[in-house]
Amino acid sequence: MPQPSFLPLLSRTFVTLLAAGMCLRATLPAAEPAAPAPSPMAANPLLTESTLLYHLPPFDRIKDEHYAPAFELGMTEHLQEVTAIADNPEKPTFENTIVALERSGRLLNRVETVFSNLEAANTNPAMQALDAEMSPKLAAHSDAIYLNSALFTRVHTLYQARASLGLNRESLWLLERYHLDFVRAGANLAEFDKIKLKAFNAEIASLQTKFDQNVLKEKNADALIVDSPAGLAGLSESEIAGAAARAGGQPGKFALPLLNTTGQPALAELQDRGVRERLMSASLARGSHGGPYDNREVVSRLARLRAERAVLLGYATHADYQLEDQTARTVKTVNQLLADLAPASVANARREAADMQAIIDREKGGFQLSAADWAFYAEKVRVAKYAFDESQLRPYFELNHVLQDGVFFAATKLYGLTFKERHDLPVYHPDVRVFEVFDADGSSLALFLVDYYARPSKRGGAWMTAYVSQSQLLGLQPVIANHLNIPKPPAGQPTLLTADEVKTAFHEFGHALHGMFSHVKYPRFSGTRVPRDFVEYPSQANEMWRFWPEVVQHYAKHYQTGAPIPPALLAKLLTTLKFNEGFASTEQLSATLLDQAWHQLKPAAVPGADDVLAFEAAALRKAGVDFAPVPPRYRSTYFSHVFSNAYSAGYYSYLWSEVLAANTTDWFERHGGLTRENGDRFRQGILSRGGSQEAMTLFRNFTGSDPQIEPLLKKRGLELPANAKKPVEVDG
């Protein structure tokens, strides 16, 4: 059903309120006139700037019915502002055109930010329906701005005269980026091609939303049901209790949830191979086995539309289009990185598989290692090689200790930050915590929201987002949120993390620091608004502190006794950090290669829905990573990063950024590690700059050199062929 226009929607709201008022008047004494019905627009908290600390959204007042009218009014106001800029009879200047654009759209930005963040973190059917309706509208709204010929003429005039405008570095970069944004959005196209582009953008937006919602709905609908507690042997008592609770109280039934990745945490512990195989099969089949959530047609259509749009804009493929604006620059550069890493990764994975098969054979298992067995037997190899069981760590990784005595502690040592939990501010879910963040001099810096627990209303994975982005131009300080998907234990039980979840907490806080330390003038450059293949760099660099001696000794304490983690156990953990890296590298590379395979296609080469899985298998074979015991971290039909989010042709960013982060870790180790001097240098040189300068220039200025691949190889325990050992080449 088409989204109703703003005025009819408003009229229906008024009719409803008027009817309610008439009923009220019938009960009042005749001498007392009825109070007028309140304006629904006046009662809409999204329409005015929040008066809460840091302009935190008033979550307790925002209702589902507020979004649609706020979206409509926001788009109307934004287009009026943009039209006034485009039609300004005065000669274009940096202030009346570029700065005016930066100031425009405040209402739309506010409602879109709150809605998109909550639709990911705490959605419901009403929000999902509105998202599906608004996605093509917002795409059309963006087109109306970037394809406005009069507006582009003003931007282009300034761009051509940029050398004579006397702009400072950040302002000049802003002008250059705006010009590039317009060109890449199709501003130079002929009018009939603009019409085609608008159609592409609207359909792509709708399909991305459909893909995302299919993944979430299937995740919630297709938990694996186990019929007896015997099938859950190996899980802890609290995990079994959680599985029983998720089964809705059905006697003797247990539900194992599916996370968005191919691998599932329970696979490392489940002793029943039949249950493991069912769980892995269910995970791999998501989005591709028919039914209402099948994403094969969506994948095929999206890939085709993206390819056609790229050609329309003058690029060979969607990957060429996407990479032009990233630090890697070219498809050739990305392909070389992946080709260099794939052979060593798969070779390591095969060696790891041989160790596991040896255990299976010694136990007279009578089967060949499969993807369902990998995590279970990897733990057996870990125990055999290192006398180390990762489950021994969990009592020392209690959530609150990790957060406050680990993540926050490292930030205090590096940057002088302090944190105060606020219980007086509204949140959108009871599990969310709010901290005010103070700088080293005691001044207020930011608000930080922590949302760590999984729930059906929350999409999978982990991410950082900004509810308010820092800007000197607009006088705004940041409100930043971190989201994880840690299973919530039964009431009264502690939340004990895996080593990987600890890593994720430090990783996402690296993104948070990027947002909180932002110190730029223009909203366009705030925080993590940097090239996609640079955005993961600060977050991956922050992972180094999780096992830094001073930090881990401060937070890794037994949740019951408070005893620090035994040195021998910690030593075993550190010894095994490269353990299973063949698997980790191969599953990540496989997903990365799938992303590139889809997005380096010409339009006519995109397979139809029935051939999606065959194309996937052929792409993995061609890249040399088709090793069945190690499937891709994401298969195409649930690869949300690239088919519903902003990482299309960009999933390589994690590896690319990891090269930069490994070089940065090496720099910190050579310069004294966890010191305020080092932290302040990283803050001033990288974290505070956002997108206000060319990203690789910031990196080179900080480290003093081009990135080298050897630190990453050392970290992952990989070795390239001798002729491949070279700097990471960046075109331009």
Residue 641 is classified by DSSP as: H
Q: In the predicted model, what is the mean pLDDT of residues 178-191?
A: 97
Q: In the predicted model, what is the mean pLDDT of residues 112-132?
A: 97
Q: In the predicted model, what is the mean pLDDT of residues 68-89?
A: 98
Whether 620 shows a pLDDT value over 90: the answer reads: yes
Buried b vs exposed e over 365-392: b needs ≥16 C-beta within 10 Å?
Answer: eeeebebbbbbbbbbbbbeeeeebebee
Instruction: Report how far residue 377's alpha carbon sits from residue 357's, in angstroms, rounded to the nearest whole number.
Output: 8
- For the chain, residues classed under CATH 1.10.1370.40 are 389-575+671-732
Whether 553 shows a pLDDT value over 60: the answer reads: yes
pLDDT score recorded for residue 34: 47
In which element (H, E) is residue 731 found? none
- For the chain, residues classed under CATH 1.20.1050 are 44-188
pLDDT score recorded for residue 720: 57
The CATH architecture of the domain made up of 389-575+671-732 is Orthogonal Bundle (1.10)
Given a contact cutoff of 8 angstroms between Cβ atoms, the answer to whether 174 and 525 are in contact is yes
Whether 724 shows a pLDDT value over 80: the answer reads: no
Cα dist. 271→268, 275, 327, 375, 376 in Å? Answer: 9, 8, 45, 11, 8
Q: What angle do CA 553, 557, 560 make, to 5 degrees?
A: 170
Whether 560 shows a pLDDT value over 70: the answer reads: yes
Structure tokens at 732: 């331009």
Mean pLDDT for the chain overall: 91
pLDDT score recorded for residue 13: 28
pLDDT score recorded for residue 57: 98
Instruction: Report how far residue 286's alpha carbon sits from residue 295's, in angstroms, rounded to the nearest whole number.
Output: 8
Whether 2 shows a pLDDT value over 50: the answer reads: no
- Band of the pLDDT at 717, cuts 50, 70, 90? confident
Residue 717 is classified by DSSP as: T
User: Which of the residues 81, 508, 543, 616 is marked catalytic?
Assistant: 508
Share of the chain above pLDDT 70, in %: 92
pLDDT score recorded for residue 368: 98
Return phi, psi of residue 471, to 5°: -160, 125
Q: Are strands 224-226 and 254-256 parallel, antiparallel or unpaired?
A: antiparallel
- Band of the pLDDT at 723, cuts 50, 70, 90? low
Instruction: Report how far residue 209's alpha carbon sits from residue 58's, in angstroms, rounded to the nearest whole number.
Output: 26
Cβ neighbours of residue 52 closer than 8 Å, sequence gap 6 or more: 58, 425, 426
**DSSP H stretches of helix in 421-548:** 499-516, 532-542
Whether 20 shows a pLDDT value over 70: the answer reads: no
Q: Tell me: the pLDDT tens digits for 474-521?
A: 999 999 999 999 999 989 999 999 999 999 999 999 999 999 999 999
508 has catalytic annotation: yes
Instruction: Report how far residue 656's alpha carbon sits from residue 326's, in angstroms, rounded to the nearest whole number.
Output: 11
Whether 1 shows a pLDDT value over 90: the answer reads: no
Q: Tell me: the pLDDT tens digits for 209-260?
A: 999 999 999 988 888 999 999 999 999 888 899 899 888 878 889 999 898 8
Q: Tell me: the pLDDT tens digits for 30-67?
A: 344 444 544 556 699 999 999 999 999 999 999 999 99
Structure tokens at 182: 């317009």
Whether 85 shows a pLDDT value over 70: the answer reads: yes
**Nearest C-alpha neighbor of 528 from the set 486, 465, 474:** 465
Q: Tell me: the pLDDT tens digits for 350-394?
A: 999 999 999 999 999 999 999 999 999 999 999 999 888 888 999
pLDDT score recorded for residue 19: 28
> Out of 173-187, 255-269, 430-444, 514-528, which region has the weakest mean confidence (pLDDT)?
255-269
Which residue would you say has higher pLDDT here, 188 or 713? 188
Q: What angle do CA 249, 252, 257 make, to 5 degrees?
A: 65
The answer to whether the Cα torsion of 491, 493, 498, 501 is positive or negative is positive
Q: In the predicted model, what is the mean pLDDT of residues 458-483?
A: 96
pLDDT score recorded for residue 719: 66
The listed CATH number (1.20.1050, 2.30.30, 1.20.120, 1.10.3470) that belongs to domain 44-188: 1.20.1050
Residue 422 is classified by DSSP as: E
